[in-house]
C-alpha cells in the first residue's frame, strides 16, 4: 500500500457562484446518481505583499449513495449548498451572500487534451464538505502539501516578469491493491527571495519535503494594439487567468524513514501518468496498463518528467 501525501487546503470566504447539477453515470451495469460541479469563493488576502481579491474555483462531486447503500454525507453537504446557500451571483450583493468554510480541500491537477492536441494540466481544488462560516470569520485560501521534489527553474511570463517554479510530485489516493502509485505533478511558485534561497539550498531532487503556502486564483486584462496602414491602431483586450500555489514556508530538512516517499515508486507513478496521457492523446481506453516498479539506484537524480 502506498502512502498518500498530506494535501490539505483551507478556504474561508464569501460564496461567489454556484454551478452544480444532478446527473448519473453507469458503474458496473448500475446507474449511479451524483451531484457535482463547481463553486467559486471570493477571498481577500495578501498576495506578494498586496491585498488581493481572489476568485477561487472549487470542484465538488459526490455519488448519492455509498457502497453500503446509505446516503453519502458529502452528497448531503453539496446538496445543502445547492438548495440553501446564497451566492453573490444570486443576491447581487456580497454582504448578503453566505460566508463559507472549507477545511479539508485538496490540490489536484486536471489533465485533458487541448484543441492543439496536447495534454493540458490545470490546477484544481477539490472538496467534499462545505459549511457556513460560523464564529470568527477569517478570509484565507491556504495549503499544506507533502511531495517529492522534481524540477526547479525560473520562467519568464509575459507581463508578470520572472517566476521561480518548483515542480513537485504529489502522491494522491491510490487503491490498496494497486501496483503503481497515483501521482500528480504540481507546479509550486516561489516569489520571496528568502524562500527561493532556502529552496535552492535545501530542497534536493528526489527528497521528500513539506510546504505551506497561499492560493492565488486571480485574473487580469491586457490590451494590445495592432498598427494599421493609417488611422487609429486596433485594440484588443484579453483576459489572463492566474492559477498559482505560492510557497510561503516549508521544511528545511527532508522527511525520512516512513515519511519519505520511495524514489522508485515515484518514478513508476510518473511513468504510469505519462502512459495515461499517451492513451488520452490516442483516444484509447483511459484504463492504462499499469507500469511495473523498476529497480534503480536511489538517490538525488532526475525523476524523468
pTM of the predicted protein model: 0.87
Please give the pLDDT value at position 159.
61
DSSP class of 257? G
Greater pLDDT, 166 or 220: 166
Check pLDDT > 90 for residue 10. Answer: yes
* CA gap 88, 80 in Å, rounded: 17
We find that the CATH architecture of domain 7-282 is: Beta Barrel (2.40)
* CA gap 245, 32 in Å, rounded: 34
Domain chopping of the chain, boundaries: 7-282
* CA gap 116, 226 in Å, rounded: 25
Q: Using CA atoms of 119, 112, 162, 157 in order, give the dihedral in degrees to the nearest 10.
A: 90
Check pLDDT > 60 for residue 122. Answer: yes
Check pLDDT > 90 for residue 238. Answer: no
Number of H helices, E strands in the chain: 4, 11
Please give the pLDDT value at position 290.
34
Residues 6+ apart with CB under 8 A from 182: 2, 171, 172, 173, 174, 175, 269, 272
* CA gap 138, 148 in Å, rounded: 31
- Host H or E run for residue 277: helix 263-282
Check pLDDT > 90 for residue 283. Answer: no
Please give the pLDDT value at position 160.
64
Per-residue model confidence as pLDDT tens digits over 18-54: 999 999 999 888 899 999 999 999 999 999 899 999 9
From 27-41, 98-112, 148-162, 270-284, the region with the lowest mean pLDDT? 148-162
Residue 305's pLDDT band, with cuts at 50, 70 and 90, is low
User: 7-27 and 50-63 as β-strands: parallel, antiparallel, unpaired?
Assistant: unpaired
Greater pLDDT, 253 or 161: 253
Q: Are the C-beta atoms of 145 and 210 separated by less than 8 Å?
A: yes
Instruction: Report the Cα–Cα distance between both ends of the chain, in Å, rounded.
Output: 24
Check pLDDT > 60 for residue 230. Answer: yes
Q: What angle do CA 180, 185, 57 make, to 5 degrees?
A: 120
Check pLDDT > 60 for residue 109. Answer: yes
Check pLDDT > 70 for residue 297. Answer: no
Check pLDDT > 80 for residue 223. Answer: no
Q: What angle do CA 11, 15, 17 make, to 5 degrees?
A: 120
* CA gap 199, 151 in Å, rounded: 11
Using alpha carbons, list the distances in angstroms from residue 192 to 43, 166, 249. 21, 13, 10
* CA gap 304, 148 in Å, rounded: 13
Check pLDDT > 80 for residue 143. Answer: yes
* % of the chain beyond a pLDDT of 70: 92
Amino acid at each position: 500500500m502506498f502512502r498518500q501525501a498530506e494535501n490539505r487546503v483551507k478556504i474561508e470566504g464569501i460564496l461567489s457562484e454556484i454551478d452544480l447539477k444532478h446527473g448519473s453515470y453507469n458503474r458496473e451495469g448500475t446507474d449511479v446518481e451524483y451531484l457535482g460541479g463547481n463553486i467559486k469563493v471570493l477571498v481577500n488576502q495578501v498576495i506578494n505583499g498586496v491585498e488581493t481579491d481572489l476568485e477561487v474555483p472549487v470542484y465538488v462531486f459526490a455519488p448519492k449513495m455509498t457502497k453500503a447503500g446509505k446516503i453519502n454525507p458529502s452528497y448531503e453537504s453539496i446538496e445543502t449548498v445547492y438548495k440553501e446557500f446564497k451566492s453573490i451571483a444570486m443576491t447581487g450583493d456580497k454582504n448578503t451572500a453566505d460566508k463559507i468554510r472549507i477545511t479539508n480541500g485538496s490540490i489536484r491537477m486536471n489533465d485533458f487534451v487541448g484543441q492543439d492536441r496536447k495534454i493540458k494540466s490545470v490546477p484544481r481544488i477539490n472538496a467534499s464538505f462545505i459549511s457556513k462560516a460560523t464564529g470568527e470569520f477569517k478570509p484565507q485560501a491556504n495549503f499544506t502539501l507533502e511531495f517529492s521534489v522534481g524540477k526547479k527553474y525560473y520562467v519568464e511570463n509575459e507581463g508578470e516578469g520572472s517566476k521561480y517554479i518548483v515542480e513537485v510530485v504529489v502522491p494522491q489516493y491510490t487503491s490498496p491493491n494497486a501496483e503503481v502509485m497515483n501521482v500528480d505533478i504540481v507546479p509550486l511558485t516561489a516569489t520571496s527571495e528568502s524562500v527561493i534561497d532556502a529552496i535552492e539550498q535545501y530542497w534536493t531532487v528526489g527528497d521528500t519535503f513539506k510546504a505551506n503556502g497561499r492560493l492565488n486564483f486571480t485574473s487580469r486584462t491586457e490590451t494590445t494594439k495592432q498598427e494599421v496602414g493609417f488611422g487609429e491602431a486596433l485594440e484588443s483586450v484579453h483576459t489572463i487567468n492566474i492559477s498559482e500555489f505560492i510557497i510561503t514556508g516549508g521544511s528545511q530538512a527532508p522527511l525520512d524513514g516512513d515519511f519519505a516517499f520511495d524514489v522508485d515508486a515515484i518514478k513508476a507513478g510518473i511513468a504510469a501518468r505519462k502512459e495515461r496521457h499517451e492513451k488520452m492523446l490516442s483516444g484509447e481506453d483511459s484504463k492504462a496498463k499499469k507500469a511495473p516498479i523498476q529497480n534503480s539506484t536511489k538517490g538525488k537524480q532526475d525523476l524523468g518528467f
